[in-house]
């Protein structure tokens, strides 16, 4: 992985819904973050091989390779990034999803979310990491 230059924190957003991706990019870029996006876990794997990230926001439900599978890949290949993952989903009613999230203990941003919700969870997660 290439090192991130000094300055802005870099976030990888894994989201297959264009409207949500666009809002997240706009909101977080306005907060000074550098953003990369991927529409699924396979694309995210490629991004992770190319760059270093301060935070990874993963939608649980993406095509081709979902967020659960991507998280497992990160755990195996980049274990230091596990604490830098935030999950997003609109599906917490499904027992499998709820169980997965509870077992991982990572921050969760429920859809639909507001720009303020997004900014707050990103800033809080980064604050926790930097302790």
Fold exhibited by the domain 10-129: Rossmann fold (3.40.50)
Point out which residues pair with 25 in neighbouring strands: none
> For position 11, what pLDDT does the model report?
98
Q: Domain spans of the chain?
A: 10-129
Half-sphere exposure of 44 (CA within 13 A, CB side): 32
> For position 6, what pLDDT does the model report?
52
Contact indicator for 129, 83 with CB cutoff of 8 Å? yes
Residue 2's pLDDT band (boundaries 50, 70, 90)?
very low
> For position 98, what pLDDT does the model report?
86
Could you write out the DSSP letters of every residue in 24-93? HHHHHHHTT-EEEEESSHHHHHHHHHHB--SEEEEES--SSS-HHHHHHHHHHH-GGGGGGEEEEES--S
pLDDT above 80 (res 69): yes
Residue with token string 């980049």: 78
Q: What is the pLDDT of residues 8-59, one digit of tens each?
A: 899 999 999 999 999 999 999 999 999 999 999 999 999 999 999 999 999 9
> For position 5, what pLDDT does the model report?
43
């Amino acid at each position: 992985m290439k090192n991130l230059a000094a300055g802005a924190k870099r976030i990888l957003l894994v989201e297959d819904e264009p409207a949500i991706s666009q809002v997240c990019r706009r909101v977080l870029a306005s907060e000074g973050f550098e953003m990369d996006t991927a529409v699924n876990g396979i694309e995210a794997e490629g991004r992770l091989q190319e760059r270093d990230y301060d935070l990874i926001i993963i939608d649980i439900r993406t095509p081709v390779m979902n967020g659960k599978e991507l998280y497992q890949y990160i755990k195996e290949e980049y274990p230091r990034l596990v604490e830098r993952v935030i999950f997003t989903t609109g599906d917490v009613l499904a027992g499998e999803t709820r169980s997965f999230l509870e077992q991982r203990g990572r921050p969760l941003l429920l859809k639909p979310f507001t720009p303020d919700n997004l900014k707050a969870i990103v800033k809080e997660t980064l604050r926790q990491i930097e302790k």
